Structure 1
């Protein structure tokens, strides 16, 4: 085969490979386009169903409310009618009794007048005496019509216009939710969820984050508040979770539509304290340690169960209960677990004491952080800044490996370089408290 033919063959192979790559890229874009179509159609169908169900429920509830109100008003009419007729019925009964007595007296008088002369005097005398007893000049008082209740209904004609105004403005259809999830960052035993507003005209008062294990499962609340990020803990590693977020507008009670669900997961095992350390009680998930009062002697350092802190992550300690402070107290990270030491204020470790002092390889820094109290959160962030090659000139030097360390507490932080003799890719964390009562959550 000539050189020209080989060149043409190579160009043909490259063209075929380029066409394959092009086709693959187009197929991926077509798949993404299909997902977009499905999202539009699926969300439209779901929105129609939500609207129908909502308005059907409103119709039933409004009809029931109107029926209940009508029934209550009719009961009021019945009660008013009954109370108003009672004195009239009593008066009517008294008058009817008087009419009956008068008719009977008239019959007795006429009979007395018709009797014989020998009996007439006695009959007329008895009649006259009875007539005086009846008090024929005493008549019951009949109320005037103006004094008698005249029932009527007062109906507010403004109800229907007010309802019409509210109904025509009730509900809305949004093409996009006002907030969307913008980032899912895996953390040990959890996922850090960050979201942001995508509607500039929407003023958010609160956010609501929910998650569920997989599609079709029931969502549960993870966070409600004003922050735009939240760390969801206690997640199973290597398991997909769905996350969604909504917002409540300023001065409103209802929540906005949910954001497009995003899938997140973590491959990092959760941070756990090492069980079996005397003087410390651990929670069921081993992420909370309580310095107990089972012994008054110093128990040494409580370490993590394994070196689960990696550079580039944020390690956080949250103090949920506090005891008496001591200058030997410590919270921090170290290269290895050393038994027989009372604090992380030693070599190959960096830490902060409960009084706010920062120690690097056992030496106290001049910069200090605020004292640690209930509610304090202490964070450690580390990144590799340089790795020096070992030479004959620096083989005995301490600084062959450098980590940039940032320790934050309250609204302050200190930044320094931690020089080590060798490179590390993961670190242990630990704590030590001399006095009981301290309770710390690690995440």
Structure 2
């Protein structure tokens, strides 16, 4: 039906695959499979390197930190490369790089010195693939369906994060070589499958052409240092406190099984709520969305500081509501800052996410160590809640001053 309306004659299944409506679906499936394959392996790497290969924990930490740096900071040079060679070509190249990385990881089981290039290649592939995939998704979806497409992508990524450890757990301890080899084969197959992805529609080609015309010659510092990237950094900074330290907190007061149930409940909120509320989130002003999310973080962490199981579950659900709103709204806002250059938009978004996550890890570690030594780790969540409240108040003041300055400038013109 859709192909007939676009004037393309569908003579076989290949032509149907290349219809304009297939582009967002292909991007969603690709992102899900790539995230699933990566998360089947990467969370277990520190354990494998330290316990099976006998690598010192300090060395493991350095390797993981370097890989994260490449994964997040690499989004910018990755976006510049995407602008030059195109979206489909970038995704194929990225998947090939990741496949080689997982083959190197397989070799690490016999030669530990392969660990560094393996992790760096896997992270470099991620830095190139994710901005290209999300750019391909939003271009294929069109302006009016971007919010829904991005929310569905986020939900699928969360689903893959839930099921990947379940699939990988039986193999990582006894047969890691089978797991690594299988994931490398999956990424090779995905790279070949991406070669037959639907071509861009005329609108997509126009936006890609605009991106090529506006290739990155000077980094847009004024845009990067603006309010939207700053909110992106702060949102990840606040959110990653939960990601990094909730497991330690729950293990201290409850059983590890409880932590799994808490993660499932919080992730399910994002999976369900964000697609259903995508258009309403898009309709919110950026200021309203930011204040709502920062206050949700504030309340959620404050509830978690009560320490009981019900309080922890309720707090994580409240934080998940804030997460559902702010990360989708930031994606849409960053896209608006870079019209015709979605890959650059997502590259900058990922860089900000990396900065916020790294800062949260560093600051959170110091705070948690101090409150744990005092004998009451519940104070940790109270201190995080105060930080979120200060962030919300600072943002509200900044927006008020910006609005006042705009009215003054408008009155003078």
Same fold per TM (> 0.5)?
A: no
Q: Kindly indicate whether structure 1 or structure 2 has the higher relative contact order, using CA contacts under 8 Å at least 6 residues apart.
A: 2
Higher helix share: 2
Higher strand share: 1
Class of the TM-score when normalised by the shorter of the 2 chains: under 0.3
TM-score by length of 2: 0.21
Rg larger for: 1
